[in-house]
């Protein structure tokens, strides 16, 4: 079914609160086979709320409204609906009784305010009468409109327990099967991936491919929305295989995978340990590795060696190498990778030395020049890359490139050469 989500509240339109409700609802509804064509956020203005709901009813199969159901003066959803849909406020005695029972000793003023909660637009059906929670359904012009509280955990509970099952039973036969997979790609630009897959894009009307750059990766989504389950599954499997084959070594992982979680799983699977020696990435590689829970099992540690003294002192790089080739060189990167293995006892060592900018570049070695060293699995290699962008971008892509070298080494893939 085609749906719309409307979130209500000044706290959203003033940017004070991030709207996680609409995102949660969209994700759940999408996974349940629905298509959300629009999400709206409306400030606490009665006429705007009413107009948005009326318009959504006209063009959608169902509507989800969150927020504005409370008892304070800025909670206007019910009043807006009563007026816009000509459904006068109607007392729900069971809600009133519950309020009075829960607050027998409250001051009269508090009770009077809270009793507002017992008045709902005519025709409203309370979604979870047994719970102390706002939330109701109005079926208007044959369109179900679900009103959910703005409190995230209440909204989530009602959405998964009441809304999604109710929609699944709504007009049998209309259900569609949605299959989705996200691919994390590194080493190809969005536009290159688009070109490599463009022949698939138009191969089937049930298929959608999306491209989302999340620097330094590109995320690719494959979505199949069909009416016939077995057909959708067959299409999904064949497309998935095609995409994996085309992306090859550039495919880092799927869905919730990150490069650092993939590298972590590979290290655990092979019972190997890793250590890092960083110059221009300044600790970012170690930081990424250690965001993964349980990384202490395979990450022995790292050194951030900005100065030459630390490269020789902490990492044991021969000063003659730095004198001869320079601190930013392939020779130094190799020596750093070997040094961190020796100092930490790790099986694999990865090292970077380069110029993240904005200062420190020379004509010979401009900002963005980064040397990588990798030692382990009986190999020692070095590699030079020239990156573009600001300091943040250079540091990010440096860390990503270093971790990707470790991934390729562990997968026994061909390592990139100079």
Residues 134-153 that bind a second copy (CB under 8 A): 151
Nearest residue (CB) to a second copy, 231 versus 343: 343
Q: For residue 171, which of 61, 63, 57 has the smallest C-alpha distance? A: 61
Name residues contacting a second copy, limited to 314-353 (CB under 8 A): 314, 343-345
Residues near 57 by Cβ (< 8 Å), separated by ≥ 6?
A: 63, 140, 141, 143, 145
Dihedral, CA atoms, 373, 406, 396, 286, nearest 10 degrees? Answer: -90
- Residue 342, exposed/middle/buried by CB under 10 A (0-12, 13-18, 19+)? middle
Q: How far is the CB of 121 from a second copy (least distance, A)?
A: 21
Give the H or E element holding residue 58: helix 46-59
> Is residue 353 a contact partner of residue 336, using CB atoms and an 8 Å limit?
yes
Residue 96 touching a second copy (CB under 8 A): no
CA 330 from chain centre, in angstroms, equals 36
Residues near 15 by Cβ (< 8 Å), separated by ≥ 6?
A: none
Stretch 257-296: interaction string toward a second copy, x if CB under 8 A? -------------------x-x--xxxxxxx-xxx-xxxx
Number of residues that bind a second copy (CB under 8 A): 101
Residue 71 touching a second copy (CB under 8 A): yes
Q: How far is the CB of 400 from a second copy (least distance, A)?
A: 14
CA–CA gap between residue 310 and residue 386 (Å, rounded): 24
Q: For residue 192, which of 216, 211, 215 has the smallest C-alpha distance? A: 211
Nearest residue (CB) to a second copy, 75 versus 331: 75
Q: How far is the CB of 270 from a second copy (least distance, A)?
A: 19
Residue 123 touching a second copy (CB under 8 A): no
Q: How far is the CB of 256 from a second copy (least distance, A)?
A: 11
Q: How far is the CB of 54 from a second copy (least distance, A)?
A: 13
Using CA of residue 398, residue 400, residue 403, residue 408, what is the dihedral sign? negative
Name residues contacting a second copy, limited to 10-39 (CB under 8 A): 10-20, 22-30, 35-39
Residue 302 touching a second copy (CB under 8 A): yes
In 159-256 the beta strands, taken as DSSP E runs, fall at: 177-186, 207-214, 217-226, 251-254
Name residues contacting a second copy, limited to 150-179 (CB under 8 A): 151
Residue 212 touching a second copy (CB under 8 A): yes
> Is residue 40 a contact partner of residue 26, using CB atoms and an 8 Å limit?
no
CA–CA gap between residue 75 and residue 270 (Å, rounded): 57
> Is residue 248 a contact partner of residue 389, using CB atoms and an 8 Å limit?
no
Question: Which strand ranges, in their side-by-side order, compose the sheet holding 177-186?
Answer: 207-214, 217-226, 177-186, 251-254
Residue 79 touching a second copy (CB under 8 A): no
Nearest residue (CB) to a second copy, 82 versus 346: 346
Nearest residue (CB) to a second copy, 369 versus 381: 369
Name residues contacting a second copy, limited to 102-121 (CB under 8 A): 109-110, 113-114
Among 33, 50, 68, 70, binds a second copy (CB under 8 A): 70
Among 227, 306, 362, 366, binds a second copy (CB under 8 A): 306
Name residues contacting a second copy, limited to 362-401 (CB under 8 A): 391-392, 395
Name residues contacting a second copy, limited to 225-254 (CB under 8 A): none
Among 90, 203, 227, 307, binds a second copy (CB under 8 A): 307
CA–CA gap between residue 333 and residue 57 (Å, rounded): 63
Q: How far is the CB of 412 from a second copy (least distance, A)?
A: 26
- Name the segment binding a second copy (CB under 8 A); options: 40-48, 228-236, 374-382, 401-409: 40-48
Among 94, 125, 161, 201, binds a second copy (CB under 8 A): 201
CA–CA gap between residue 88 and residue 123 (Å, rounded): 9
CA–CA gap between residue 289 and residue 90 (Å, rounded): 58
């Amino acid at each position: 079914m085609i749906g719309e989500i409307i979130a209500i509240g000044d706290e959203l339109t003033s940017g004070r609160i991030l709207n996680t409700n609409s995102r949660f609802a969209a994700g759940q509804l999408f996974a349940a086979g629905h298509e959300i064509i629009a999400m709206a956020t409306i400030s606490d203005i009665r006429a705007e709320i009413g107009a948005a709901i009326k318009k959504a009813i006209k063009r959608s199969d169902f509507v989800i409204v969150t927020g504005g159901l409370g008892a304070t003066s800025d909670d206007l959803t019910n009043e807006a609906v009563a007026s816009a849909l000509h459904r006068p406020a109607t007392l729900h005695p069971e809600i009133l009784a519950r309020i009075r029972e829960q607050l027998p000793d409250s001051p009269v003023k508090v009770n009077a305010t809270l009793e507002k909660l017992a008045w709902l637009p005519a025709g409203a059906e309370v979604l979870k009468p047994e719970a102390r929670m706002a939330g109701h359904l109005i079926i208007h012009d044959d369109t179900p409109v679900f009103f959910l509280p703005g409190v995230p955990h209440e909204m989530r509970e009602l959405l998964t327990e009441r809304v999604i099952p109710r929609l699944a039973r709504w007009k049998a036969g209309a259900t569609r099967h949605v299959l989705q997979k996200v691919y994390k790609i590194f080493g190809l630009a969005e536009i290159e991936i688009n070109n490599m897959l463009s022949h698939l894009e138009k191969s089937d009307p049930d298929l959608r491919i999306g491209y989302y750059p999340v620097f330094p990766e590109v995320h690719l989504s494959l979505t199949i929305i069909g009416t016939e389950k077995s057909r959708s599954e067959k299409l999904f499997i064949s497309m998935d295989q095609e995409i994996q084959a085309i992306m090859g070594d550039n495919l880092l992982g799927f869905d919730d995978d990150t490069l650092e979680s993939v590298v972590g799983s590979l290290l655990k699977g092979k019972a190997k340990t890793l250590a890092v020696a960083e110059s221009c990435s300044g600790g970012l590689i170690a930081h990424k590795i250690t965001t993964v829970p349980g990384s202490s099992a395979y990450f022995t540690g790292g050194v951030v060696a900005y100065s030459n003294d630390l490269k020789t002192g902490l990492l044991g790089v021969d000063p003659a190498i730095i004198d001869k080739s320079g601190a930013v060189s392939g020779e130094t990167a190799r020596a750093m990778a070997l040094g961190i293995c020796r100092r930490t006892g790790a099986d694999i060592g990865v090292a970077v030395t380069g110029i993240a900018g904005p200062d420190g570049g020379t004509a010979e070695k401009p900002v963005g020049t980064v040397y990588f060293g990798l030692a382990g699995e009986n190999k020692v290699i070095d590699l030079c890359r020239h990156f573009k962008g600001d300091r943040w971008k250079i540091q990010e892509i440096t860390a990503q490139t270093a971790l990707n070298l470790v991934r390729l080494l562990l997968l026994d893939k061909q390592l990139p050469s100079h």
